[in-house]
Structures are given as C-alpha cells and as structure tokens.
Amino acid sequence: MKTDYASYLRDRGPVRLLLRRLFLLPVKRYFRGKVLDIGAGIGEFLDCYPDSIGIDRDYAAVAYCHARGVRCIQADAYLLPFRSDSFDGVLLNNVLEHLECPADALSEIMRVLKKGGRLMIEIPGKKGFHHDETHVRFWVRNDIADLLKLHGFLDIKTHYFPIPCEKAGDIFAHNKLRVCAVLVTKEQ
C-alpha cells in the first residue's frame, strides 16, 4: 500500500478510474441541490456534480483537487466547517468504515444537512473491508439502518453494487453496500 493516499487514488489506472466514474452515475442521479462529499479524495464526485464541495483529511488529496479547480477543504467528518442547514445532500463514499466515532460524525452531518436532505453512504463488502488496514469497523445493512434511525433518518434503502448480492462482497473487493436515507427530523 502506498503511503501517499492521493497518489494511490490517482494511480489506480485508466480502467479502474473509468469504472469508478461509471459507478458514480447513480450517485449523481440520487442527489438534488447542494451536496457535501465527505472524504472527497481526488474529487471524482466533485467533477461530475457541479453543485458540490468536498472535504478530506488528506492534504495532498485536497491540494490535488485545488490544482484541478475543484472545491475541496481540508477538514474531517467530526467538525464540518459549514453553517447548519447548508446542504441538500451528503455523500460518505468509503468513509464510514474508517470512523472511530460514527455517531459523532452523523450528528455533525445532521447539523449541516437540511431537513428532508438526502444522505448516501457507500461501504465495502467483507473482501474490500479486509483489503485496507485503516478500516475500523465492518458494517452490515441492519447496523447502518439502526444508526441512521437513531439520528433522524428514515426512508432507508440499501442495495449491493455493482453485483446486487451481499455474498459478492465476500469474493470481489469492489462490491459495495449503498445506503440511501432521508433526514426527517433534526432532534436527537
């Protein structure tokens, strides 16, 4: 594993970069309005969704986004540098499994997300989870749904992608669980 996260993302090769862009098409269609991409990496979602801004903890990833003219700020999910009710949508793409305190991050997401706002979370299956030593917790759909309900989210839908089967995540590192939810209440 390369030590420079931004280089790792950039150097995935043209086929994997193209597949990544194709995987982002349904994500793009899910959102409306202003979207925050938490853990934006090298800005792939930011490229395809003009009314978005990203945050990432990695300085090199943020600098790469800036050099390409995409809006990204160095920050983390626990202290978002935005006013309350700033976003119509929030994307957590391959981030939740890295968080030590996911409930704290979701509280912060609730703060910046407007009531009725949409959240999409994408997490790896078992093979993808074990592929990265920085992953903290393996999530299953019921655990995510329970956490989201506790934080005021409803209309929770889950599916596996690109192969619509949970067991495919045991075999293929890039089969993911996608979770979509709507913030219905701002109270905790």
Q: Is residue 58 part of a domain?
A: yes
Segments of the chain assigned E as strands: 35-38, 52-56, 72-74, 87-93, 113-124, 153-161, 176-183
- Amino acid 132: pLDDT: 86
What is the domain count for the chain?
Answer: 1
Q: Is 62 part of a structural domain of the chain?
A: yes
- Specify if 141 maps to a domain: no
Cα separations in angstroms, 161 against 54, 62, 116, 171: 23, 27, 25, 13
The answer to the question of residue 142 being in a domain is: no
Residue 138 lies in a domain: no
Q: Describe the strand order of the beta sheet including 113-124 as a list of residue ranges.
A: 72-74, 52-56, 35-38, 87-93, 113-124, 176-183, 153-161
Establish if 152 belongs to a structural domain. Answer: no
CATH number at residue 43: 3.40.50.150
In the prediction, which pLDDT does 2 show? 39
Distance CA 115, CA 121 (A): 18
Query: Which pLDDT score, from 0 to 100, does residue 5 have?
Result: 64
Element (H, E) at 128: helix 126-130
**CA-only gyration radius of the chain, Å:** 15
User: Tokens representing 6?
Assistant: 């931004």
Q: Which one-letter DSSP state was computed for residue 57?
A: S
Domain interval for residue 174: 5-132+157-183
Rounded to whole angstroms, how far apart are CA atoms 9 and 44?
10
Distance CA 24, CA 89 (A): 15
Q: What pLDDT tens digit does each residue of the chain (188 aa) get?
A: 334 666 666 666 677 667 777 788 889 999 999 999 999 999 999 999 999 999 999 999 999 999 999 999 999 999 999 999 999 999 999 999 999 999 999 999 999 999 999 999 999 999 989 988 999 999 999 999 999 999 999 999 999 988 999 999 999 888 999 999 999 987 65
- Please tell me the predicted confidence (pLDDT) of residue 180: 96
